[in-house]
Amino acid sequence: MEQDTTRKVSELVSFMLNLPATKVHPFTSLKDDLLLDAIDIMLLIAALESKFDVYLSPEEAESVQTIEEIAFLLQKNAVAA
């Protein structure tokens, strides 16, 4: 189930940022690889929260560094809801 969430997050990030799917994988760094700043990351996470109908706490959102970490937190919070 977690791999499926990671794949969906990767596809959505690729689409939202207009990037080739080959540029977005589980270990893609939001800052180093995608060159997103803190505001861009928060906007991306907000869009993903909306798509998955899941809420991340501000602390969780600020701790995210990779696609895999976003997928993990979305999955964890979806199960907890």
Q: Give the domain ranges of the chain.
A: 2-80
For domain 2-80, the CATH class is mainly alpha
What pLDDT does 3 receive? 82
Give the 3-state secondary structure of residue 29.
strand
Tell me the pLDDT tens digit for each residue of 50-73: 999 999 999 999 999 999 999 999
From the centroid of its chain, how far is CA 76?
A: 13
Q: Which of 2-6, 13-17, 54-58 has the lowest mean pLDDT?
A: 2-6
Q: Which long-range contacts (CB under 8 A, 24 or more apart) does 72-75 make?
A: 72/2, 72/5, 74/5, 74/9, 74/48, 74/49, 75/1, 75/2, 75/5
pLDDT for 61: 93
Give, as one character, the DSSP assignment of residue 5. H
Percent above pLDDT 90 for the chain: 91
pTM for the whole thing? 0.89
